[in-house]
Chains A and B, each alone.
Chain A
């Protein structure tokens, strides 16, 4: 069975540096459990010289010698292992601090209840853009992440690529990660953040650099809705525009995810549903049924409006 969030395999430089240590301490732990529990079992069940027949059972009370040596040896060996692990920990810690080479791309990720906002920085202001829940990066290159807490504390975690870093309101945390090969790596919020903490996933998509550049150019471009979805656009503006932005239209809300290129994403509702027309309709019609307690309100609308909005969204490739 696939386990996309397991951290005993790695696909990126940062996770690669940590993995040998993780496996090392795991193996040490298993060996220690086996040895000490083995000693315990031996201590309990070892054969003991039979008492002289007829001896008073209360006379069994005694104070044999030798126990202390066992304690000294056991603690001595344990201490050596612990000190060695500490040294190896410091070494790894020093290694992970900075990426193998300077990161060219910086992405600012903001944790929100219960979705992720990703803002791509650029030296050219016109090339700065925002997307959500699906973070594309170029494969084989280190990427710098600025992590910000939008409301409460969340934690940014892509186990195949790196360990966790919290997104904390009022401070900016910096981390980096690098994917060796193109692929889709699942991420998840791991700091308890309220009702929908469970459904706060995201994906890091590593593309070949050329393909990443293509994706980036497409994301920079505003949406260009055609005239045949005018009804949908207008319904979207009134129903959804207060919270959602679609660049290139008057909808400019900042509360929810930017939907300018929503159809380019594989999932909706922070990794909760696959991005299919059916799920999209279901999500718009009944967000509280899908993610109870989330901040997207249940809005009464006619079937015609719902279909028009869905059709409009489907043009946002």
Chain B
């Protein structure tokens, strides 16, 4: 948590210079060695860790999917036992939805936000570090079950009563329940950090109508997470109590309610689905203008539609439950909302197409991925519209049609923009280009493989193939479509591998990229690639949405100032600005590297392991370590360490009346 002092007098304004840069470098640099590794609070370091970790989970989840596709390639195969199949499809879903899709976007936002916002870090750097360690440890916690042979086996949706101990006696579901509560803490603190960062640390002048759409996307997701994660954490906690301490919240024999689970789960999980696509849609909204050589069409509409999607998205959760025997009134309401939610999505799609139409596309690899995403979004969107109509959904639900739909949505609107974002921002992160020729091949392999794999699922779904079946008979007409799907899955996997190959090759001998390789207009392109630890030598002042384009577009009210600004070099300092207009308000004194987040995460892990084994001493030990970490965290006077001169000087000129 940053401490701040009210800004009552303008601090010195300087021009960027090498001496200042060197001084800032020393202050902001992560320490070498173990202290830096465990203690870093640098948003760029944390962002990269998030992205790398999430891609490892993506790879594991992908391998799981390929094994599932081998089992389903032909009818009546015995590659997997039913239980193995069930554990694999559950872990595939859990890995992709929870351990990849959200964390990868958190990683990008972590890395990019301060650069986009003209800041030196996120608002709560230690909370940020904590969120990563909690994510890593909860992911390992969930996967520990896999290597012990007791992976969750009830799908990511984990319906009771099948998840109750009576039907599921192993530790499988305990791992999942605790792992989800655990991961929920990570997502919660990370979301809190994003909300504060967006509201408090934008560059002077970056009023809310000048914020990049990616920031709107992640901000909207973060607010939604803060609202809905308590529901799912509660659900999993009640289930943990049911399974381990004999409460009976979900046991129908004792008056418990199986549908209570579904409501608590989906009131979280449907907004979550939007939370894992809105930031990726933001990447497309920010990326397309660069490659179409014009600002986004309908910025305000797109920003508002982002928030409208989430607002409406809070009211659609029961469309996962249309077959549970709800009242007709409830069915009608949720059906209407589930159909109308397509309106804000249409706004985004038409705004993107208008941007391309009226612009002059440059056919880079990143552009391929962003444009391809629009096509996949449309296909996934209309199949979602179909399932929104209740009577139709009674037929479609729980068939492969829905599997097709959700993969078009999640791979189409998450993975494709993310890979596009890698092609776009890799030069910023590493200072080197990814190979563009390989990149286009990468796109076409993924695009063709994806459609070959998932389009036929619509048809096997319309032919009545249910979800989550480990095998199927030969006489029901699904065999050919499944074979095509399996072949497409492997083609798609080769496309993904080509991305890794490209990264590996380009890291070693990629073409050198300057500060602004694509001629982008936002602040991250104003600083060197890779960015220095302090991001900006002087803090920029922003006068338009595209500070680097305003000379040429010539439509900004004034001019942004990037070379002259506040130095804020007394320790780790940042500017705090007002929520709406981003007027300078306070100087934030930012924390240095610290073991506290790591220790806190270790303590939390021990608590959860203790809960898994129902060991009171284990839980107590974890709680003690957590308490010590919190003390360490909150101990006063640790903010300016490492900056001896700062300790002796006030952070800025004292106001006269003091």
Contacts and interface: CB of A to CB of B under 8 A. Distances in A.
Interface in B624-644: none
Nearest to A5: B464
A33 B553 contact: no
A193 B154 CA distance: 8
A170 B335 CA distance: 25
B283 interface: no
B349 A36 contact: yes
Interface stretch (A84-92, A101-109, A203-211, A252-260): A84-92
Interface in B363-418: 371, 374-375, 378-379, 382-383, 385-386, 389-399
Contact of B325 (A37, A163, A168): A168
Contacts of A83: 340
Nearest to B295: A63
A195 B378 contact: no
Contacts of B297: 67-68, 70-71
A78 B346 contact: yes
Nearest to B378: A36
Interface in A184-217: 186, 188-198
B245 interface: no
Interface stretch (B174-182, B469-477, B490-498): B469-477
Contacts of A52: none
Nearest to B398: A190
A70 B173 CA distance: 50
A165 interface: yes
Given A40-B371, A66-B358, A169-B258, A293 B162 contact: no
Interface string A90-121: 10111011000000000000000100000000
Given A2-B477, A22-B395, A196-B82, A44 B356 contact: yes
A3 B472 CA distance: 12
A97 B328 contact: yes
A224 interface: no
A40 B379 CA distance: 13
Contacts of A194: 86, 162, 167
B360 A60 contact: yes
How many B residues are at the interface, by size bracket? Answer: 35 or more
B378 A93 contact: no
A43 B378 contact: no
Contacts of A298: none
Contacts of A128: none
Interface in B85-130: 86
Interface in B539-568: 549, 552-553, 555
A147 B323 CA distance: 12
A39 B354 CA distance: 9
Contacts of A63: 294-295, 553, 555
Interface string B313-339: 000000000011100100110011001
B344 to A, nearest CB: 9
A25 B392 contact: yes
A79 B477 contact: no
A188 B464 contact: yes
B403 to A, nearest CB: 12
A89 B336 CA distance: 8
Nearest to B335: A89
A277 interface: no
Contact of B323 (A17, A152, A165): A165
B463 A5 contact: yes
A48 interface: yes
Interface in B428-455: none
B617 to A, nearest CB: 35
B353 interface: yes
Contact of B378 (A18, A37, A61, A113): A37
A33 B379 contact: yes
A74 B357 CA distance: 14
B397 to A, nearest CB: 6
B477 A3 contact: yes
Given A67-B297, A71-B351, A189 B162 contact: no
A4 B385 contact: no
A1 interface: yes
Contacts of B170: none
B391 A96 contact: yes
B48 to A, nearest CB: 30
Nearest to B258: A168
B466 interface: yes
Contact of B398 (A2, A26, A164): A164
B301 interface: yes
B159 interface: yes
B26 interface: no
Contact of A93 (B360, B390, B465): B390
Interface string B277-317: 00000000000000001110110010000000000000000
Contacts of B253: 169-170
Given A6-B462, A17-B391, A169-B252, A82 B343 contact: yes
Given A3-B476, A74-B350, A151-B167, A159 B298 contact: no
B49 interface: no
A15 B464 CA distance: 14
B265 to A, nearest CB: 13
A48 B346 contact: no
Given A29-B385, A59-B552, A166-B323, A21 B392 contact: yes
Contacts of B350: 70-71, 74-75
A29 B294 contact: no
B398 A155 contact: yes
B654 interface: no
A173 interface: yes
B467 interface: yes
B63 to A, nearest CB: 22
B325 A26 contact: no
Contact of A29 (B82, B339, B382): B382
A42 interface: yes
B645 interface: no
A171 interface: yes
A58 interface: yes
27 contacts: A2-B476, A3-B463, A6-B462, A15-B395, A21-B392, A22-B396, A25-B385, A25-B386, A26-B386, A29-B385, A36-B349, A40-B353, A43-B354, A61-B519, A62-B293, A71-B350, A78-B346, A79-B346, A82-B342, A86-B336, A86-B389, A149-B161, A149-B252, A159-B464, A165-B394, A168-B252, A168-B258
Interface of B: 81-83, 86, 154-155, 159, 161-162, 167, 252-253, 255-259, 293-295, 297-298, 301, 323-325, 328, 331-332, 335-336, 339-340, 342-343, 346-347, 349-351, 353-361, 371, 374-375, 378-379, 382-383, 385-386, 389-399, 462-472, 475-478, 480, 519, 549, 552-553, 555
Given A60-B293, A75-B343, A194-B162, 5 more contacts: A40-B371, A66-B354, A68-B297, A75-B347, A79-B346
Closest 8 CB pairs of A and B: A163-B394, A5-B464, A170-B252, A3-B477, A67-B297, A198-B469, A74-B350, A173-B325
